[in-house]
Amino acid sequence: MIAGVQIHTKVAQKAQAEVLTDGVLAYLAALHRTFESTRQSLLIARDVAQRRFDSGVPLDFPSETAHIRAEPSWQCAPPALGLEDRRVEITGPTDRKMVINALNSGAKTFMADFEDSSAPTFANLINGQVNLRDAIKRQIDFESGGKQYKLSENPAVLIVRPRGWHLDETRVTVDNTPISGSLFDFGLYFYHNAHELIKRSSGPYFYLPKMEHYLEARLWNDVFLFSQSYIGIPHNTIRATVLIETLPAAFQMEEILFELRNHSAGLNCGRWDYIFSAIKKRRADRSAMLPDRKDVTMTVPFMDAYVRLLIQTCHRRKVAAMGGMSAQIPIKDDPKANEVAMEKVRADKLREVTAGHDGTWIAHPLINQIASKVFDENMLGPNQYHVRREDVKVAAADLLSTNVPGKITEEGIRSNVSVALAYCGAWIGGNGCIPVNYLMEDAATAEIARVQLWQWAKYGARLDTGEQITAQYVDRIIAEQAPGVNKIAPSVKDNHLKIATKYLKDQIKQQWPNEFLTSDLMPYLTMADGVEDKWYRSVL
């Protein structure tokens, strides 16, 4: 055991013995001791910025970095091996079956997710690291229920998404303080696999979530430099794609690329979290009210502006501008409904490739054929870096436009309630992504549901019928929808649904919505792993 490092749970002992070696624990301790104070200061800066937004100071492009945006000469690193063509990327959690199916899907890359589509039980995290290690070494084949799962000869390129800067890993402490969830996920994967990946003509590639400021990107870059030196690989071997999924980050795309430029693999339109952030960051602005979730599409003005700016920014700096997630999954028992859903996927992917995106995300292997066909027909080369979009002129007002056609309906409220209850209940039970009404829901879509319900009740929005939405009205809808959750999400246990119901009712009545439901509900996972959670604000 390494001095100052403690592991507070005994779950997944076999995997722990394989993954939590003395060597990696020493490295994690070094990461924590070097970077934790900076992480904490950046999280405090987020709170300071939020108070500034609440006081009426509008978001804008930072004046102190205008010279970076104006300088045309700097570019990001060239694409690393395996990242030249990313036309379709499949995403999902890191359980063994998912890893094999995703790597075999025919997609160009697989984003193995420790974040929004994964509930971070310690078993999920540690077993996920074992699964990724085994996949890289081509030792992941297994049998289940009489069926063989084997990795194909040419699997997708692996990219890993660690948790965001705001999350702690409370089951592992260094000097009596929880280690960052980001550094835990990143560090385990990097330490165990970087050399093997390089040997196999690939590399340690990452997606970085939830950043709100270019200084948070600088922190990641410093972590990369430190880590590459620590294990003795050349600097600039790591590549990272940043999800632009918070409203403040949309005003700092150039700066985020600049900070990571020697490690950058581009930016991604993290559309669902971006909508969530747009509501949350403008929580004190009554005029920022959004209609039903289904009406907040990629073609409404503020979303369209964000997409156009991202593509222009990335291609100006010669990196990938990745499109977003299509949450649709096949409807096997209704061919007509399935064709309608798949046509939505086609239209979404056509919009992306026509706009200039270099690739897109899917949530299900059977969607790959549709997405690939659209990109194959409309993107003849490996990418579209040459599509400069010099026609694009996006001002701060465009990113903050409140022109979003649509209505707030009772059906929209009921849908939000059902999604929030089902997802929170599943998450507490250790499942981070669930199919609901043929859409793959993860933390981001549940977060939209949660903050929309809060926003509508907070400001007394009116339904299309004229009826005013109050906390009492939403309480009634929650009580009516809760008994039906097991029909749309059969895996949710009654006691977890009860916790989710209380949580959602409490959230609707807050002065401000809490930052993240994953932070709020983490104590339940920690306690299930046999650890007393002293660091999170309890929601019990």
Taking Cα atoms as reference points, which of 456, 449, 459 lies closest to residue 421? 449
Does the active-site annotation cover 283?
no
Catalytic residue among 39, 87, 161, 316: 161
User: Are the C-beta atoms of 219 and 173 separated by less than 8 Å?
Assistant: no
User: Are the C-beta atoms of 183 and 218 separated by less than 8 Å?
Assistant: no
Does the active-site annotation cover 161?
yes
Q: For residues 276 and 290, what is the distance between their CA atoms, to the nearest angstrom?
A: 11
Q: For residues 173 and 182, what is the distance between their CA atoms, to the nearest angstrom?
A: 14
* Cα atoms in the 13 Å half-sphere on the side-chain side of 437: 9
Residue 124: partners with Cβ closer than 8 Å, 6 or more residues away: 93, 94, 95, 118, 430, 432
CB atoms < 10 A from the CB of 332, how many? Answer: 9
Catalytic residue among 116, 358, 442, 529: 442
Taking Cα atoms as reference points, which of 260, 130, 127 lies closest to residue 205? 260
b/e sequence 255-284, b meaning 16+ C-beta within 10 Å: bbbbbbbebbbbbbbbbbbbbbbbbbbbbe
User: Are the C-beta atoms of 39 and 232 separated by less than 8 Å?
Assistant: no
Residue 146: partners with Cβ closer than 8 Å, 6 or more residues away: none
User: Are the C-beta atoms of 59 and 396 separated by less than 8 Å?
Assistant: yes
**Which residues does the annotation mark as catalytic?**
161, 442
